[in-house]
């Protein structure tokens, strides 16, 4: 795992997008196509804005997956991650991607996990753009995360710190409105990605970042698993890196 620190979240997001865009270009050059995973949430605003503006990517040959979606969440809801990516990524591209495999968690959750799992197993991921939650989660794999399942997607319960983060970011009017369950990409599926670009801004993430970088690899801090990936890079602003010490 590598760590890159910028003074501002805007510069950090742009730096992450530059890295990821180059990895997409290389996959297109080598394989003729590319497969990527995208995260959502406030932490990804700057990265996604820079990524859609990147030059030299034929998005018509890029297949897109995303990490998670709330159970029962209609695509019309302001907090829908499908809506987020359609508006902030798919509709911003100069041409449509090869495919956008959205998670539809409005119906049979187990069936949707199986459907998406079948698709992603046929699309080895070249680069995963992810974040880290205030509780150290990756995707919606809250602690204690399942590090062992081989299933690409699973139904998860959201813990209270995770739900409070969603409330704090302004996606919901009250804690009672934040769903208690979601479909999430599994930890092992994320770790199968050839490269991981992890964008984490803001001081509220600093404790989780410290645990992910300096702590033991443990399901109690799911992002710590990134220490074991040879091509994972954390892109931090100075605030998110504030608990890493002088060596950062």
Nearest Cα residue to 168 out of 200, 133, 198, 143:
133
Strands 2-6 and 68-70: unpaired
Phi/psi for 40 (5° steps) reads: -130, -165
Q: What percent of the chain has pLDDT over 90?
A: 96
Average pLDDT over residues 157-181: 93
Per-residue confidence (pLDDT) for residue 245, from 0 to 100 = 82
Tens digits of residue pLDDT in 5-18:
999 999 999 999 99
Q: Which helix (H) or strand (E) holds 25?
A: helix 9-31
Instruction: Report whether pLDDT(235) > 60.
Output: yes
Instruction: Report whether pLDDT(248) > 70.
Output: no
Per-residue confidence (pLDDT) for residue 19, from 0 to 100 = 98
* Adjacency order of strands within the sheet including 68-70: 68-70, 181-185, 153-157
Per-residue confidence (pLDDT) for residue 29, from 0 to 100 = 97
- CATH at residue 37: 3.40.50.1360
- Domain presence at residue 203: no
- Domain presence at residue 204: no
Q: Are 231 and 195 in contact (CB under 8 A)?
A: yes
How many domains in the chain? 1
Average pLDDT over residues 223-242: 97
**Alpha helices by DSSP H, 121-159:** none
Q: Are 166 and 182 in contact (CB under 8 A)?
A: no
Instruction: Report whether pLDDT(2) > 70.
Output: yes
Per-residue confidence (pLDDT) for residue 180, from 0 to 100 = 96
Q: Which helix (H) or strand (E) holds 111?
A: helix 109-120
Tens digits of residue pLDDT in 207-217:
999 999 999 99
- Domain presence at residue 27: yes
Residue 198: partners with Cβ closer than 8 Å, 6 or more residues away: 16, 130, 131, 132, 223, 226, 232, 233, 234, 235
Instruction: Report whether pLDDT(137) > 70.
Output: yes
**2, two tokens:** 């590598």
Instruction: Report whether pLDDT(246) > 90.
Output: no
- Domain presence at residue 93: yes
Instruction: Report whether pLDDT(247) > 90.
Output: no
- Domain presence at residue 73: yes
Per the document, the length of the chain is 248
Per-residue confidence (pLDDT) for residue 133, from 0 to 100 = 94
Range of the domain at 129: 8-190
Strands 153-157 and 181-185: antiparallel
- Domain presence at residue 219: no
pTM value is: 0.95
Tens digits of residue pLDDT in 14-73:
999 999 999 999 999 999 999 999 999 889 999 999 999 999 999 999 999 999 999 999
Mean pLDDT of the chain: 96
């Amino acid at each position: 795992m590598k760590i890159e620190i910028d003074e501002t979240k805007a510069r950090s997001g742009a730096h992450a997008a530059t890295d990821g865009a180059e990895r997409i270009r290389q996959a297109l050059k080598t394989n003729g196509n590319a497969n990527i995973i995208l995260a959502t949430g406030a932490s990804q605003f700057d990265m996604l804005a820079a990524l859609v503006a990147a030059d030299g990517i034929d998005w018509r040959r890029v297949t897109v997956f995303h990490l998670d979606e709330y159970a029962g969440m209609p695509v019309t809801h302001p907090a829908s991650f499908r809506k987020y990516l359609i508006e902030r990524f798919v509709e911003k591209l100069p041409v449509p991607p090869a495919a956008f495999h959205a998670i539809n968690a409005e119906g049979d959750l187990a069936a949707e996990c199986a459907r998406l799992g079948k698709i992603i197993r046929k699309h080895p991921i070249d680069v995963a753009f992810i974040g880290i939650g205030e509780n150290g989660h990756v995707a919606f794999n809250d602690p204690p995360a399942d590090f062992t399942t081989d299933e690409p997607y699973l139904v998860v319960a959201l813990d209270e710190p995770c739900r409070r983060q969603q409330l704090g970011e302004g996606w919901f009017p009250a804690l009672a409105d934040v769903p208690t369950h979601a479909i999430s990409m599994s930890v092992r599926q994320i770790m199968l990605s050839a490269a991981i670009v992890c964008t984490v801004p803001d001081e509220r993430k600093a404790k989780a970042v410290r645990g992910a970088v300096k702590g033991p690899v443990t399901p109690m801090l799911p992002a710590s698993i990134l220490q074991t990936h040879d091509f994972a890079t954390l892109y931090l602003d100075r605030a998110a890196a504030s608990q890493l010490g002088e060596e950062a």
